[in-house]
Structure 1
Amino acid sequence: MSAGAVLGWLALSALAPGAAHLRAGRRRTGLIMLSCYVAGLLALLAVALTTDNLLGALTQDSWLTVIVVGAVSLGVAWFAVIVHSFVVLRPGRLPRSGQILAGTLAGLLAVVVVVPFGVVANNVWTYQKTLGDIFTGPEPVEPSAQAGQKPPEDPWTGRERVNLLLLGGDADDNRTGVRTDSMNVASIDVKSGNTVLVSLPRNLENVRFRPGTPMAQRFPGGFRLPPDPGGGRSDLLNSVWEYADAHPEIFGGRQHQGPQVLMDTIGYTLGLEIDWYALVNMWGFARLIDAIGGITITVEQDVVFGKYNEGLVKAGTRKLKGADAMWYARSRTFSDDYTRMRRQRCVLGALLDQADPATVLARFNRIALAAKELIRTDIPRSMLTNLVPLALKVKNAKVTSLQFVPPLISTGYPDWDRIRGLTAKAVRDSAAATSAVAASATPSASGGTSPKPGKSAKPSGPPTKGLTEGCGAG
C-alpha cells in the first residue's frame, strides 16, 4: 500500500470510522465502529426530530453540559480513531520517506479532526456561561408546581402577548446613576410573533405613577422637581430609574428599586403589563455592532457629533462600525430628540435584519463577550426556553413601530388617555396583522387623567409604521 493510499483510507476513516479497519482486514472491529457511528448519527437525528422546542431546550444547563462533555469525549475518540487506523494500516511497510510523509500528515489529520469538537465545546461553554451571567432574574413559581401538579402545556398559560421593556442607558465611568435615554416596549403576539415597538420620548414631563405606589404618594400630581442649577430638568421620564435608585427611603429603605419602578411607570403610562426589562448600555451596544462586523445603514444626511462638533457620520449608504452607529443613533447636534428616536429605530432594524445565523456563529465568542458586558435584565433563565422560539417568530413576523412624539402628543402636557388608547389600538392591529382591523372603539384607559381638560381621549388611529420604514429618507 502506498503512502497516498494510507492517507486516503485515513481521511475516509475521519468521515466514517472503521473504514481503515475494514481495509486492513479487521472486519469485526471495523463493522462495530461503523455501526456505532451510524447509530450515533441516527440517535442525534431522532433527538432533533422528537424534541419539542429544541432551540429552547438548548438554553438549559443540563443540555449544554451534555453537549460540552459529549464534544470533548467525541474529540478524544476521533483522535484515537485516526491514530489506531494509522496503526492498523501498517505504515511500517512503506519506504522510509513514505513513513515520514504518512506519519506527518496522519498526525496533522488527527489534530484537525479534533478542532471542530473543540470549537463546539468552547462555544457552548461560552454560551452557557454568558447565559448564566446575564439572566439572573428570580425564577417564577408556578401555582401548579406548588400544588405538585403537572405544568401546563401552554408555556404562556393562555396569555396572548408578552411585553418587554427595552431600555438604552447612558451609564459610564464618569457618570453617576443610570438615565434611560431610549425607552421602547416590544409587545409581542405569542402565536404569530407580530410585534409593536412602542417608543416613549426621554423628555416626557409630569409623568404619572400608578395610584397607591410609593412614587405616586411622593408625587400625587406627577413627577415634578425644581429645575437643576444649570436650568436643566431631572424629573423627565428618563430620570425615573435614577431617582428611585437614589431615594430608597421612599420604599422603606429597599435598595435598587429603579428597574421595577420604571417598568411599572411605563406599563401604567401605556396601559400594558410589562413582564420584564432589558437594559442595554448604549456604548456597550457599539461593541455588539462591532462584534457582528458592523451594520449597513443609509445615512440620510450628515450627522455631526462631539463636544466641539468635531465628529461626522457622512451621508450615504455605508457599513458603520459600532461607535459611528451609536453616534448616528444618539447625536443631538443640529437635530432633536424625535429625529434621534427615528435614527435609533433604524439602527435596531438594521441589527435585527443583518444579524443572521451565519454571522452569529462565525463571530460567536465576540458577540457573547459583548452581550455579557452590555445587557442587564430581570428575565429568569428558565424563561429562555420559551422566549427563544418566540424571538425566532419575531424575526420573521411583522414588526411595526408607534412613536409618541410631537405632534402626536405634547411632551410637556401629555394626554395620558390618548397615549393608552393609541397603544391599545396598535396592539389590536398587530394581533389582527392588518390595520383595517380594530376600527371599533378604543377601550377605556385604566386610571390615568389628562393634565389639560377638554382633550379628546379617543384616538383617530395609531400612526404605526414598519420598523425600518422611513430609514434612509431625508
Structure 2
Amino acid sequence: MPDRSGPVRAGAVIGWTALSVVAPGAAHLRAGRRRTGLTLLSVHAAMLLALLCGALTADLGDLAGRLVASSWLTVVTAVSVALGLAWSALVVHSFVVLNPAALSRVGQAVTGTLAGVLAVAVLLPFGLAGQYAAISQSALEKVFSAPAPTAPSAAPSVGADPWAGRDRVNILLLGGDADTHRVGVRTDSVNVASVDVETGDTVLLSLPRNLENVRFVPGSPMARRFPDGFRLPANPDGSREDLLFAVWEYADSHPEVFGGRKDQGTRTLMETVGHILGLKIDWYALVNMWGFARLIDAIGGVRLTVPQDVVFGKYDEGVVKAGTRRLRGADAMWFARSRTDSDDFSRMGRQRCVLGALLAQTDPATVLARFNQVALATRELLRTDIPRPMLEHLVPLALKVKNARVTSVQFVPPLINTGYPDWRKIRSVTARAIRSSGAPRRHLGATATPAATPATTPTLTPTATPATTPTLTPAATPAATSTPRPSAGTEDVTAPRNITDGCG
C-alpha cells in the first residue's frame, strides 16, 4: 500500500508534480509507489544516456542527412506526438498519486490548475517538434518532387555509393527573373557549383546572362536549328532575346524544334551550360528571385552594406539608400536586381552579395523562431530536379562545403568578351580551376589561366571567414599590390556565403 504519512500540503503536491516533469517517477516514490517510481526513473535515465552517447558518437553530417529523409521525418513526427502525449499523461498521473483529494477545495482547484498547466507545457515542445517535422516533410516533398531517374546511379540502394563513383557533382544554380508580365522562365543568373564529394572543396563558375552566340551540344535539336550559334533578330526596341538567359524560355516556347516535345527548356539549358564549360551537369536548382524577398522577410530582413544609392524601376520609381542597415526583402531584391545606371556584371556581384548575406545570417535560432514562415517561403523559392532520395546525401555534402575551400571564377570582361566568347578558353579556365581545387592546399596560389595574361586572369581565392555584412572587393592580381580597383565586372570573389566585402 502507498505510504502517505503526514498531512498533504498544496505546495508539496505542486513541487513533486513539477519535479516529475524532469525526473519521471519522483512523485511516485514520494507517494510510496517505489517499484513504479524506480522503473520510471530507470527508463528516463536510460533514455538520457542513449541520447548522450548518440550525440557524442554521431556524425553530424550523416545525422543531418537522415533527418531530411522522408522515412526519418515520418518517424520523428510520430515519436514526438507519442512521447508528448505520454509525458503529459505521466505528469497528470504523478499529480493524482499524490492524493490532491485530501486538500481543501481551494487547494484542489489551485493545484489542479497548476498541474494542468504543467501537463500542457510538457506537451508543447514535443508538439512543436512533430509540427516542424511534418512541415519540413511537406515542404521537401513539394520542392524535391522530381521522380527519381531509373538509372542505377541515380537512386542508390542502402550502403551503395550515392555518387556512383563520381569524384565531383556539378549542380547548375539558376536565378529566375520571372515576373507576372513575362512569358516563360528567364535565367537572370547562371552559376555552376562543382563540388568534390570527398572534401567538399567547391568551384563556383559564373556565366553572364548576356553571353552571345551561345553554342549548343553538337547534334542536338538546338544545334541543328542554330548551327552557327544562338542568333535571332533584335526586338523593335533593340533588346535581345538570343542571349544565354533566354535559352530556357526559347526551348520551352518552340516545341517544334524538339519534334513536338514540350518543356524542353530545363534539359536544354543544362546541356548547353555543360557544353560551354566542358562539364556534365548532374542537377539544377532554380531560385525565384522574388521568392528570396519572401524568405528575407521571413527571417526578419538581412543586414547589408550598400556602398552607394541604387535607383530601381523602369521610371526610377525608388531608391535603395547607401549605408549599412537591415533591409526588407523587397529592398534587398531591388538592390540585387536593379539595372538602372548599372551593367549586368555589377548586378551579378550584387546578387551574389545578397545571397552571401542571407546564408551567413540565417542562423538556426532564427529559423526555428520563424519556422512556419521560412518553410512557406522556401516552398515558393526553389525548383529543382534533384531526386528526393538524393537529399539525404547532399545535405552532409553541403555541411562539408561550409568548412571547405570555395573558389570562384566569373567569365566576364576582360577575361571573356561576352559578345564574342572564346569557348575554348572558357573550357580551359574551368578545367584548370577544378584541377586547382582538387590540388593540395599549398597549391591554391595557382591562377586559373596562364600567367602570360595576368590582366585577365581570375585568381582562385580561398574562402574567407563569413561575415554578417558582406562586401565585394577585387581579388589580388599577379601584378603590384597597388593595382587600382577594377570595375565590378572584373572582380573575382569567393563563393556567395563568404563574400566579406561591400556590395560595390
1:74-133 Cα distance to aligned partner (Å, 9 max, x none): 111111111111111111222332222111111111111110011011100000111111
Verify the 8 A CA contact 1:425 1:461 in the aligned structure 2: no
Residue pairs, 1:236-251, within 5 angstroms? 236-251=243-258
2:64 paired with 1:55:
yes
Selected match of 2:14 from 1, 4, 7: 7
Specify the alignment match of 1:471 in structure 2. 501
From 340, 343, 346, the equivalent of 2:350 is 343
**For 2:91, which of 71, 77, 82 is the aligned residue?**
82
Q: Which runs of 5+ in 2 are unaligned?
A: 1-7, 461-492
Structure 1 residue matching 2:311: 3-state secondary structure: strand
Q: Tell me if structure 2 keeps the 8 A contact 1:418–1:458.
A: no
Q: Is the 8 A contact 1:417 1:457 kept in 2?
A: no
Letter in 2 for 1:462: P
Write out aligned runs for 1:58-207 (5 A): 58-141=67-150, 143=152, 153-207=160-214
Give per-residue Cα distances to partners, 1:163-196, cap 9 Å, x unaligned: 1111111222222111101111111122222222
Q: For residues 332-371 of structure 1, what are the structure 2 equivalents within 5 Å?
A: 332-371=339-378
2:397 aligned with 1:390, yes or no?
Answer: yes
CA contact (8 A) 1:165 1:263 kept: yes
CA displacement 1:388-435 (0-9 Å, x = unmatched): 001111122222221111111111100111111111122222223648
Cα pair distance change 1:262/1:351, threshold 3 Å:
same
Identity %: 65
TM-score with structure 2 setting the length: 0.86
Query: What is the CA-CA distance between 1:462 and the residue it aligns to?
Result: 3.2
Counterpart residue number, 2:310: 303
Deviation at 1:357, TM superposition (A): 2.0
Quote how far apart the aligned CAs of 1:461 are: 4.3
Q: Secondary structure at the match of 1:181?
A: strand
For 2:447 and 2:91, how far apart are their aligned partners in 1?
70
* Alignment partner, residue 430 of structure 1: 437
Do the aligned partners of 2:436 and 2:446 also contact (CA within 8 Å) in 1? Answer: no
* C-alpha distance 435-176 of structure 1, shift in aligned 2 (>3 A): farther
Following the alignment from structure 1 to structure 2, what is the Cα–Cα distance between the partners of residues 142 and 233? 38
- Report what 2:232 is aligned to: 225
Alignment partner of 1:255 is 2:262: yes
* SS in structure 2 of the partner of residue 279 of structure 1: strand
Q: Is the 8 A contact 2:406 2:494 kept in 1?
A: yes
Change (3 A) 1:458 1:162: farther
Aligned counterpart, 2:468 = none
Cα offset, 1:299, TM superposition: 0.8
Mapped pair 1:235 → 2:226: no
Structure 1 residues 385 and 150, CA gap change in structure 2 (3 angstroms): closer
CA distance in 2, matches of 1:313, 1:241: 31
CA distance in 2, matches of 1:374, 1:150: 30
Residue type at the aligned position of 1:119 = L
SS across alignment from 1:466: coil
Q: Which residue of 1 aligns with 2:379?
A: 372
Q: Is the CA contact 2:162–2:390 (under 8 Å) kept in the aligned structure 1?
A: no
CA distance in 2, matches of 1:46, 1:67: 19
Task: Decide which of 395, 398, 417 is 1:410's aligned counterpart.
Answer: 417
Matched pairs, number: 460
SS in 2 for 1:164: strand
Q: Give 1:62's aligned amino acid.
A: S
Q: Distance in 1 between matches of 2:394 and 2:148?
A: 14
Q: Offset of 1:49 from its aligned partner?
A: 6.1
> CA offsets, 1:189-225, max 9 Å, x none?
2222222221111110000001111111111100001
CA distance in 2, matches of 1:381, 1:111: 36
Paired amino acid for 1:427: I
The match for 1:281 is 288
Distance 1:130-1:469 versus aligned 2 partners, 3 A rule: closer
Whole-angstrom distance in 1 between the partners of 2:165 and 2:43: 44
State how far apart, in whole Å, the 1-side matches of 2:143 and 2:198 are. Answer: 26
Distance 1:66 1:166 in 2: 32
Aligned ranges 1:312-331 → 2 under 5 Å:
312-331=319-338
CA RMSD of aligned residues (A): 2.5
Q: Distance in 2 between matches of 1:256 and 1:400?
A: 33
The answer (yes or no) to whether the contact 1:167–1:279 under 8 Å persists in 2 is yes
- Unaligned ranges ≥5, structure 1: 444-455
Tell me the secondary structure at the aligned position of residue 182 of structure 1.
strand
User: Which sits farther off after the overlay, 157-166 or 384-393?
Assistant: 157-166
Distance in 2 separating the partners of 1:42 and 1:253 = 62
Contact 1:135 1:381 in 2 (8 A): yes
| Alpha-carbon distance in structure 2 between the residues aligned to 1:118 and 1:80 | 14
Kindly indicate whether the alpha-carbon contact (under 8 Å) linking 2:414 and 2:456 is maintained by their aligned counterparts in 1: no
